[in-house]
Structure formats: C-alpha cells, structure tokens
Amino acid sequence: MHLSDLRGRSVAVWGTGREGMAAATAVAAHGPASLCAVNDRANFLSLPWDGPLAEAAPLVTGEEGLARLLAADVVVRSPGVPNTHPWMAELRRRGVTVTQGTALWMADHARRTVGVTGSKGKSTTSSLISHLLTAVDRPNVFGGNIGVPLLDLPEAELYVLELSSYQCTDLTDSPRVAVVTALFPEHLDAHGGEREYYRDKLNLIAHDPGTVVVNGTDPRLAAELGGRPAVRAGFPDTTHVAPGPDGAPWFHLRERPLFPRAALPLVGRHNEGNLCVALAVLEALGVDVGARRDDLAAAVAGFRGLAHRLAEIADPSGLTFVDDTLATSPYAAIHAIDAYEDRPLTVIVGGTDRGLDYTPLREHLAERELTVIGIPDSGPRIVEALAGLPKVRTETVDELVDAVRLSRELTPVGGVVLLSPAAPSYGRFRNFEHRSEAFREAIAETAAS
C-alpha cells in the first residue's frame, strides 16, 4: 500500500508519538476522506497534540478510540503498538487493514534503501554503513528507528535505515539491501512469543530484496536463514577479521587485508562483526572496498559510537560511566559486559518487565566478578535470577539516580559503571533518549553530592 492509496479513504492513525505525528502529517497531505488520531494510553509522558496537527487529525483517547479504529478503512499504527494489543485482535477479526508509516514509505522507496535490523547491532551497523558510504562519495540520508521517522525523511538517491522488529512487522516491500545483524529472543511480549518475534524481524527479507547481508557468525540467525541465499559476513569468502601482515587482527575482504582492527575505536568483538557487515553492504552496493581501503580506514578511525550504545562518559572521580541504554535484552547486556571484561565493573539493570528469561545472563556471569544494581521494574527480578553467584554482588534501589549514587560507592577508582538495562525504557521514561538523559543527569547530580 502506498500513501497515495489513502486518498478518499477513512484513516485512523494509532499512536501520537513522533511516528504518529509523522504519519498524520503525511496522510493528511494525500487527501483522505476522514482522518483522526487515536491514543489509547494517554498519560503524563504523552507529547502535545495540538495546533495544525490536531486540526488535521482530531485526537480521540480512551475506549472511544477502538470504535474509531474499527470504523476506519485503514489504520496506520505506530511501531509502539504491539501485535499482542487486544484491539489488534479485534481489528484483524473485523478485517480492517492495518499498516505502518514505515510500510507506506517503503512502498515508494524500497529500491533506494538499505534496511538494517537485528536483535543487537542494528544501530551501530546502520550508522557505520551511512558513515562509510559518505566517505566513499555515496551521499545518503540516514533515518528510521534511530531518530527520524521515515515519513519525515527528505527525498534522496539512497537511504540507510535502522529498523526495529516493530517496524519490520507490517512491511510488504523489502529494501534493495536487507541486513540482519543478530537474532535472539527480544520483545516477546509485543510479538507474542519467540517464533513470532523471529517471523516479524525477518519480514524485512521476505519481500524480494535485491541482496541479503547477514552476520554469518550468529548461530541463531544462521539457523533461521537455513539455505537462503545471503552474503554471510564474518567468513573468509567475504569480509572478516583475521591476522594481518603484522600478525595483529586486521579486517579483510576475502584474502585481501584492508586495515588493522585497531583502526576501529569501538570496544567489543560484536563491533568487529558490525563493521564486517557494513563493509559487505558497501560491496553489495558496488563500492570497490579494496580500492577504497585507505579512505575506509580513515573513516572507520573517525567513527564515533552512538550516544546510547556503549557511549563512555568521563567523570572526575576516575570512574568511567557508560551509557548503553539501547541494550534492552540479557543478550545485549552480555555483549556490553564482555566489552569491559578487563576492568572492575558495576552494571545497572532494569526497565520495563516483559517477562524475559534471565537465565542466559546468570550462566554468562557464573565466573565473572562484578556488581549488579537493579532498578524498577524488572531490576529486582534480574537480581533474583543472579542470586547465589559467588562473585556477583547484587543490590536493588528504587530510582536510577540512587543506582548511580550507590555505584560511586561500590566501584573502585578506574572502574566502569555500565548502564546496560537488559530491558526497554517505556513506563518510567518516554523512550530510550529520556532514560539516557536521566542517566547523565544522575551522574552530574551525584558528582556534586
């Protein structure tokens, strides 16, 4: 379905955050017969819905919203509306067409798009792809889940998008290059289960992409792909890391050394994999990676990590605070913890409780010495899952600022305080940016106390 197909039809936009605002604005411009906005969970975190936006799409809240959705020809839901929402079941039962702004946009732009998803690494990998393309004279527009809603993007010859599992769910067109970085259980409450999550995530590659690029070293992703044709980064027949001319690790394109691993300023083995995927995407787009290796090496060296992904924050105390608020699962937290395996470490965990199994985190920390501080809502349950580990000290507090204050007391000078929540931000925070902002404010507040 294209945006132009909404002309003359009754449309309801479900959700009033950034994606809902973008959708309402875009749909209004295409002349629907009627348009309204529905917010079934309006609270103190809701963004204002007023001015021209409210005139174009009057806002309906509460239970009345369901009637307006059922009366629409097309419902454009925001990514934050889960598949498991009871209203979704009723819409499906009544045969109402449900789509998203992402799907509407992709219908018109798929052939000019690199789309990146994954249970971990999608933000960094998509950022790397955009950054490296710019360095080799391939201008592009970057957007998606990481910041700008697709319907707000300007026209361009090439797009690089970071796409969440929610955004992938309703796609009916795959991008020209479809990229998957990793696969493990995530967002199960919103998708309905592990199988449903994998199905929705891999919907990105289900609609005739030109090329599929994946992290070939991810075992669960490999199992889900089976024999499907794909460029499997991390293996010797494509981009991978192996000993270079000096015996140190280098990035390679097949047998050809490109540049040293040391050129990449990001910590962790998982980030090596992210760059291997990014380089494989450039080759899929026709970039002569070998010939441009010097330009690429310089661009890699100049790449800075994302604001909310293992972003280090210096502190006068001698501690290093690390904002990894995008780590919303135990598997993502495991990767972050491993990145600081050689330093004293305190980890702050907890957020929206989606009922995830934290046994993998417990198993991974069985021989690790560190401190874990749990914050609401899921923090106490994570701490309980770690009970009895001989080298893991656990504490719980009621607020993020209390966790930061306690971490200052418990972490040795030279150590790391890592916010890697293993849970999403919604409930107590508007979004991950809000949680990150609160973390930085807590660091500043406790430094002065």
Distances (CA, A) of 418 to 117, 386, 405: 24, 17, 13
> Among all chains, which residue has been given the structure tokens 């889900």?
224
Known binding residue 122? Answer is yes
pLDDT score for 44:
44
Known binding residue 123? Answer is yes
pLDDT score for 433:
86
Measured CA to CA, the distance from residue 104 to residue 150 in angstroms comes to 9
Domain with CATH 3.90.190.20 in the chain: 311-448
Domain with CATH 3.40.50.720 in the chain: 3-95
Tokens of 378: 């899921």
What superfamily does domain 311-448 belong to in CATH? Mur ligase, C-terminal domain (3.90.190.20)
Known binding residue 121? Answer is yes
Taking only the tens place, the pLDDT of each residue in 106-142 is 999 999 999 999 988 898 999 999 999 999 999 999 9
188 or 264, which is more confident?
Answer: 264
| Domain 3-95 sits in CATH 3.40.50.720 | yes
Domain with CATH 3.40.1190.10 in the chain: 105-302
Measured CA to CA, the distance from residue 258 to residue 294 in angstroms comes to 8
Distances (CA, A) of 52 to 48, 57, 59, 444: 12, 9, 12, 38
As a whole number, the mean pLDDT across the chain is: 93
pLDDT score for 42:
57
Q: Is the pLDDT of residue 307 over 80?
A: no
Known binding residue 115? Answer is no
Query: What average pLDDT does the segment 296-322 reach?
Result: 91
pLDDT score for 146:
66
374: DSSP letter: E
Q: Is the pLDDT of residue 292 over 70?
A: yes
Please name which of 104, 122, 134 lies closest in space to residue 285, comparing C-alpha atoms: 134
Taking only the tens place, the pLDDT of each residue in 255-282 is 999 999 999 999 888 899 999 999 999 9
Measured CA to CA, the distance from residue 442 to residue 180 in angstroms comes to 35
Known binding residue 318? Answer is no
105-302 has which fold? UDP-N-acetylmuramoyl-L-alanine:D-glutamate ligase (3.40.1190)
Q: Which residues pair with 252 in a beta bridge?
A: 240, 257
Known binding residue 118? Answer is yes
pLDDT score for 425:
79
Reported in sequence order, the residue ranges of 305-449 that DSSP labels E, i.e. its strands, are 311-314, 320-323, 345-349, 370-374, 392-396, 416-419
Taking only the tens place, the pLDDT of each residue in 344-354 is 999 999 998 87
3-class SS at 327?
coil
pLDDT score for 247:
96
Task: Name the amino acid, one letter, at 320.
Answer: T
Q: What are phi and psi of 10, to 5 degrees?
A: -85, 130
Taking only the tens place, the pLDDT of each residue in 25-83 is 999 999 999 999 999 875 545 678 989 999 999 999 988 999 999 999 999 999 989 99
155: DSSP letter: P
Measured CA to CA, the distance from residue 414 to residue 317 in angstroms comes to 9
Q: Which residues pair with 426 in a beta bridge?
A: 429
